[in-house]
Amino acid sequence: MRPKSTNSLVNPAAKYYLPVTLQNKIKAKVSENPNYFIQQILTGANCYTRLPFLPGLKMAQADTNKSGCPEELKSKEEEEKSHGSETNTLSAPKSANKIHSTAKEVQEKVLEASEVDISSTRIEPATFHITLMVMHLEDEAAVKRAEETLEKIGPILASKFGDTDVTVEFKGLSVFGGGRVVFTPPQPSAGLDSLKSIAEEAAMVMKENGIHSTDRENKVFHPHLTLFKFKDDKHLFKQGIRKIKESLYAPFKEEHFGFQKISSIQLCQMGEKREDGYYAVNKEITWGRKELS
């Protein structure tokens, strides 16, 4: 039997269809960091190893993973196992007390109003953070390099923001994926502009030192604090529930969560947690004064 042509593999009528926008993203990632991409293919790391336009690679249906869950909802635990490395983030650490208390109150009201138990989608306030960059560090040497790079970032940010309050206000609720992720966004302000500048500076210095973002390449930075997120919630998927109903979070679309002072960045290890419930911190740099409480 003659093999299918590559054209048929990207044909919208074919069984496996890869959108042009995703093709462009992958091409950009390959050109940006080819060695990392090749490593992912050799280790069977992520969904790229199953894309139909890559010849000779094992394919799976695009809409589900082995657990029967949508591919884009693969949990962090699954992703870490497939990468064979730890998932680390550069994060602005835990939120102010008022944000914690308000978020907890909103979460409880949403859970109470739901006819189905969706408590598995709740994000513990103890883990609240603003993700600036996600990376996969394959070994201790890579972790060490990330720690040393973070030390280089410290003086840069201190010179820019050491005497300036970088404060962001969180208000209302919004969603990603039609309700698969429910979060509170920061409001437009000079503080938000500074936060974006911090994230860009950090990602740039990391990249210059050979540490590439796995979530920021060619993407707009959308800082947020997540309250609910569908991950590997198999019991909900089996019931056909894959998002939070809008009626549950709609009453809180104008809720004021509070202000957060940004004065440090942490390199966090997402697969490990401390006794207080927050993620294990490999390294932290600070500048300015402490956050609002």
286: number of Cβ within 10 Å: 14
Tell me the CB-side half-sphere exposure of residue 232, using CA atoms within 13 A: 9
Contacts of residue 245, Cβ cutoff 8 Å, sequence gap at least 6: 114, 179
- Average pLDDT of 19-24? 66
Distance CA 48, CA 117 (A): 34
Provide the pLDDT for residue 275: 87
Distance CA 289, CA 195 (A): 15
Residue 9 predicted with pLDDT over 90: no
Percent of the chain surpassing pLDDT 70 = 67
Provide the pLDDT for residue 7: 44
Task: Label the pairing between strands 181-184 and 279-286.
Answer: unpaired
Residue 90 predicted with pLDDT over 50: yes
Domains of the chain with CATH codes = 6-62 (no CATH), 82-286 (3.90.1140.10)
Q: What is the band of 51 on the pLDDT scale with cuts at 50, 70, 90?
A: very low
- pLDDT per residue over 150-195, tens digit each? 999 989 998 988 777 789 999 999 999 999 999 999 999 999 999 9
Percent of the chain surpassing pLDDT 90 = 45
Q: What is the band of 270 on the pLDDT scale with cuts at 50, 70, 90?
A: confident
Provide the pLDDT for residue 16: 44
- Name the helix (H) or strand (E) containing 136: strand 130-137
pTM of the complete model beyond 0.75 = no
- pLDDT per residue over 101-156, tens digit each? 999 999 999 999 999 999 999 999 889 999 999 998 988 999 999 999 999 998 99
- pLDDT per residue over 274-286, tens digit each? 988 889 999 999 8
Range 158-163, long-range pairs (CB < 8 A, 24+ positions): 158/287, 160/197, 160/201, 161/194, 161/198, 161/287, 161/288, 162/287, 162/288, 163/288
Provide the pLDDT for residue 235: 87
- Alpha helix locations (H) across the chain? 6-9, 20-32, 34-43, 76-83, 97-113, 140-161, 190-208, 234-238, 246-249
Distance CA 261, CA 168 (A): 7
Provide the pLDDT for residue 81: 43
Distance CA 259, CA 241 (A): 33
The tokens describing 58, both together, are 């094992």
Q: What is the band of 202 on the pLDDT scale with cuts at 50, 70, 90?
A: very high
Provide the pLDDT for residue 147: 95
- Are 67 and 232 contacting, i.e. CB atoms less than 8 angstroms apart? yes
Q: Tell me the average pLDDT of the chain.
A: 77
Distance CA 115, CA 4 (A): 48
Provide the pLDDT for residue 220: 80
